[in-house]
Amino acid sequence: MLTILFILGTITGAHASAYNFNGAWIDVEAWVGEGANETILVVDWNRIDTGEDTISESHAFGFRWDGTAYESDMLDAFDTSGILTVTTGYGGAFI
């Protein structure tokens, strides 16, 4: 099943800090959660409507957890912390 989530971003205004993620340096704007596992969500709004006015930088946000976590857990953590405003359609998923 393919889950599609609509993410409406609101940037916190925090400055990104460089982080070495599996050998790649990424400017992570904020982290949420704690634990031994980590991943980074990169949101890129470049040319959403292919117009020059929508060109912007990509934004990276980190998520840490222990045990089992799903993409929905990560997005909920970002929403709860105020890093991103996350909304979904059709009860949270649709094909």
Domain ranges of the chain: 6-10+28-92
On the question of pLDDT at 13 being above 60, the answer is no
Contact partners, residue 18, CB within 8 Å, separation at least 6: 25, 26, 27, 28
41: β partners: 61
Rounded to two decimals, the pTM is: 0.67
What number is the average pLDDT over the span 53-60? 72
Percent of the chain with pLDDT over 90: 32
On the question of pLDDT at 12 being above 50, the answer is no
